Structure 1
Amino acid sequence: MFFANKKKRVLIIDDDRSLLRQISIHLQEHRGFDTIIAENGEHGSAIANKAHVDLIILDWTLPDIQGIDLLARFKTAQQTKNIPILMLTAHNKIGDAEKAFALNADAYMFKPFSLQRLGEKANGLMT
């Protein structure tokens, strides 16, 4: 019996529509991933709890909930605790990355960033 290679699915949670589109297109066209986008934390949380995703790319600053709080929620919830989470954010003050890693973020990237590097990091987190 042959099994089809299942595409990796990435949930991107960010309130910047242009950035969501850029990341989504890049990951689809250059990495072959399926992507799901959410423009706020509650929508992203609902998707993460219902859809099987292999990676979450999460912004820190969202309109309804701070990404760092959503990270804590994801990493303690049964349905999402094992999903790798890459924080992609402009938060680059001393202690920001450390706080995210203390809450079990799997990776942290600062904005602005390279789409190629983001794709590489995403791929590495899902292997």
Structure 2
Amino acid sequence: MVKILVIEDEESVRENILELLDAEGFDAIIAENGQKGLHLAQQHDPDLILCDVLMPEMDGYGVLSALRSQGKTATIPFLFLTAKAAKTDIKQGMNLGANAYLTKPFTLAELLDAIATHIGVIHR
């Protein structure tokens, strides 16, 4: 089963993503901030990470930078899911090594397509 780590500080968004992933047969792990997400990524070795940018304790850019600097987590596909939609925000995320940058609101199809692109699994 594909394991996806969701790092999102807004409970309603986090729960909605968790529901969507569960319905599609993914094993979802959740973290409510960047520090916890970083710890869970190191502990659970997920197949893919979905992460917000603006969060307490450590933002998504910090999480991505930390993951990319560690051998064990450096190659985990990383997708930003965020409301930060300015071109400079997207460029910053991609320059740090994100595999994709989806802006909120996003559709289920957009999310599933991004996941499939980066882990090679098609759920429909």
TM-based fold match above 0.5: yes
Contact kept? 1:9, 1:35, Cα under 8 Å: yes
1:107 aligns with 2:100: yes
Per the TM alignment, residue 70 of structure 1 is displaced from its structure 2 partner at its CA by 1.1
Unaligned runs of 5+ in 1: 1-6
Runs of 4+ in 1 over 4 A off after TM superposition: none
Unaligned runs of 5+ in 2: none
Residue by residue, what CA displacement relative to the aligned partner does 1:40-91 show, whole Å, maximum 9, x if unpaired?
1111111000112000001000111111111111111111101000001111
Per the TM alignment, residue 120 of structure 1 is displaced from its structure 2 partner at its CA by 2.0
Quick one: distance in 2 between partners of 1:22 and 1:33? 14
Identity, % of aligned pairs?
34
Larger radius of gyration: 1
Per the TM alignment, residue 24 of structure 1 is displaced from its structure 2 partner at its CA by 1.0
* TM-score normalised by the chain length of structure 2: 0.92
Q: Which residue of 2 aligns with 1:89?
A: 82
Quick one: distance in 1 between partners of 2:15 and 2:109? 15
Q: Which residue of 2 aligns with 1:70?
A: 63
